Amino acid sequence: MTKEQALERAIWLREEIIRNSKLYYEQDAPQISDYDYDMMFKELTSIEEEFPEIRTPDSPTGRVGGKALDKFDKFTHNVRMGSLTDVFSYEELSAFTDRMSDALGNDVEYSVEPKIDGLSVALIYRNGIFVQGATRGDGEVGEDVTENLRTVRSIPLKLNEPLPYLCVRGEVYMSKKVFEELNAAREQAGMPLFANPRNAAAGSLRQLDPKIAASRRLDILVFNLQEGSLYQDGRACLTHSESLDRLDELGFTTVTNRIVAQSYGEVRDHIAYLGASRDSLAFDMDGAVVKINKLSERVAVGEGTSTPKWAVAYKYPPEERETKLLSIDIQVGRTGVLTPTANLSPVRLAGTTVSRATLHNAQFISDRDIRIGDTVVVRKAGEIIPEIVRAVTSSRDGTEQIFSMPDLCPSCGSPVVRDECGEGAATRCVNPACPAQTSRSITHFASKGAMDIDGLGPQVVELLLSAGKIRDIADLYTLRTEDIEGLDRMGKKSAENLISAIETSKSRGLERLLYALGVRQVGEVAAEEIARRFRTINALFGATAEDYLSVKDIGEITATALVEFFADPSVRELCDRLLSLGVSGEAVSEERGVLFEGMTFVLTGTLPTMTRDEASDLIKANGGKVSGSVSKKTTYVVAGDEAGSKLTKARELGIKVIDENELLSMLGK
């Protein structure tokens, strides 16, 4: 095939692939078989590989992902990608529309549309061709994720008209269906699950390998014109709704279920309608956006310090659903605590299907008079953890059963005891050989905050235990590749990767090891403070309660737990085995600096070059404290890409907000 023939064939293939892709993905009306589509795609890929000079930026072959990147470049937005003021009640919403009426008169038009729970991005087109895309970041500076955005099939690589320049804003999301399929596959592979579709979308779009992003089947809804003209003659749109209609004509998929409202009553009614329709939407939404529709009136109203005065985001209250409590299981934790877990009739809640919820302990169940067979109200705490709010006692028919904790451990059959010390009233199995505790102890040992053994999730731990390959955590360091390959879903490559991860974990240091051992009351922060003070694990075996009490933030209960733990001969034997197998028992952290002494930092969003763990380590190494929530005691909030509610609260409280560069500058880096 000559170059001219290749060019002619490639042009035809691109047009056919794009046409059939729209029929399949947008209109659900395919005209050719999947096989024929795949063959055209394969032929175009082959031609472009043979003649790379004829490949165009809008070629559909870009959808599958190109070469992996080392990092994302910074991208400065020409037009700030701001956030909106949140309102949480119809009273606050009414106050907003009253202000607009006072400023503009009584005939104000509002655009009311869903607030998609995803990741905000800017898309740039030149001469109708998609050339660049970036995340919102802090609104001023984001990250260039162009190659990953090319893989999002609902982003047009070529517009229906060759407009000279256009920048639009949209929300990248993962559909509920794709999210559930992704999590099901991850669960089967023993991988950690994504908490919700938004987290999954954000993680997918920030993959350095575009092929991974392509496999996640992301979508986008465009909701704003940022910059440029939507018409060939350069004229401007007069309203927001006109701009969205025009974006539809150009080939974008714009935000759905939107209306133009003429009054507060119409605004409120559509917000209520959207709230009632949440389950039927393909995407998650966390509110509704209300904007002045006429663009000239937006200019008249103006901008606030950090948010526009002409728009608000109405946030729905936490979603609650009624469902049936079918039964209660008992889970045995790594410290032997028995935790009751509710099995529910599956119900859709805040973006996921919920079929289980924690019941905490017997006191929690008793205080709320929750019974097996009850109709219960369920919600998600912090949009992540399912919890039972209350029982609907008016729905009882007399068949409901009062629950009581078992007298014997459901895992090993040993008698359980009531433990009133340290963790509050709890029912505990005290058998150190309890299989459930062994499994969860090993899983905890391998977890990210502990020894961080990648690939050693709960299912793999169960495989190794049931096959007799390990009995305790020390046995992990005796494993060989041939011990693992051949187990269910574990090939040679998986086995080699796991052995490599186990080997790497040997050098994590005393900080991680102490937390990984699972001493009651000792979390990551306490483990780090203890490691800084004692430096070696051998020093812990001779330490007294008074020695531990000299460590920052260690109280009497934790000190007692440490003394009891390291007085156990089996712990000494286990630690000696770990050290003999090459696991480091020495602290890796240096003595703490004093630069940030007395300061409290909160980290939010995704930082450009560091993980939040790395930034946290830097802060703590210089004497600072890292907190998970913003309060008046917070000194600085370090905000990265897609910072959320913590950033909003910091601004409300007047807390100084800095970025990664400012943090590093404070450190002289």
Q: Residue 422 — pLDDT band, cuts 50, 70, 90?
A: very low
- Ordered alpha helix ranges (H), 51-130: 90-104
Determine how many CB atoms are found less than 10 A away from the CB of residue 19: 12
**393 vs 643, higher pLDDT:** 393
Please state the rounded mean pLDDT for residues 293-312.
90
Lowest mean pLDDT among 61-65, 173-177, 463-467, 582-586: 61-65
Q: Which residues contact 337 (CB under 8 A, 6 or more apart)?
A: 419, 423, 426, 427, 428
Amino acid at residue number 149: L
Average pLDDT along the chain: 88
Per-residue confidence (pLDDT) for residue 350, from 0 to 100: 67
More confident position, 332 or 317: 332
Ordered domains of the chain (ranges, CATH): 3-55 (1.10.287.610), 85-315 (3.30.470.30), 320-419 (2.40.50.140), 435-505 (1.10.150.20), 510-580 (1.10.150.20), 600-666 (3.40.50.10190)
| 425: pLDDT strictly greater than 80 | no
Q: How confident is the model at residue 612 (pLDDT cuts 50, 70, 90)?
A: confident
Rounded Cα gap, residues 536 and 304, in angstroms: 55
Please give the pLDDT value at position 426. Answer: 83
pLDDT value, residue 432: 66
Q: How far apart are CA 124 and CA 130, in angstroms?
A: 6
**3-class SS of residue 550:** coil
d(CA 307, CA 289): 13
Q: Hey, what amino acid is at 627?
A: S
H or E element at residue 621: helix 612-621
Q: Is the confidence at residue 648, as pLDDT, over 90?
A: no
Mean pLDDT of all residues in 653-657: 90
Say how far apart CA 435 and CA 411 lie, in whole Å: 7
The whole-angstrom distance between residue 386's C-alpha and the CA centroid of its chain comes to 16
**Please, how many CA atoms are within 13 Å of residue 363, restricted to the half-sphere of its CB?**
7
Q: What mean pLDDT is predicted for residues 419-439?
A: 74
Does residue 514 register a pLDDT over 80?
Answer: yes
**Closest by Cα among 86, 82, 108 to 97:** 108
Contact 333, 339 (CB under 8 A): yes
Q: What is the pLDDT of residues 548-557, one digit of tens each?
A: 998 877 989 8
- Say whether pTM exceeds 0.85: no
Mean pLDDT on 614-637: 87
CA 530 to chain centre: 31
Rounded to an integer, the average pLDDT of 445-461 is 91
More confident residue, 632 or 66: 632
pLDDT tens-digit profile of 256-275? 899 999 999 999 999 999 99
Span 61-118, pLDDT tens digits? 877 655 656 678 889 999 989 888 889 899 999 999 999 999 998 889 999 999 998 9
| Residues whose CB is less than 8 angstroms from the CB of residue 523 and which lie 6 or more positions away in sequence, other chains included | 515
Q: Which has the minimum average pLDDT: 12-16, 18-22, 247-251, 397-401?
A: 18-22
The tens digit of pLDDT for each residue in 25-52 reads: 556 577 887 678 778 888 888 898 888 8
Cβ count near 249 (within 10 Å): 11
What are phi and psi for residue 503, nearest 5 degrees? -65, -45
- Catalytic amino acids? 115
Give residue 140's pLDDT band: very low, low, confident or very high (50, 70, 90): confident
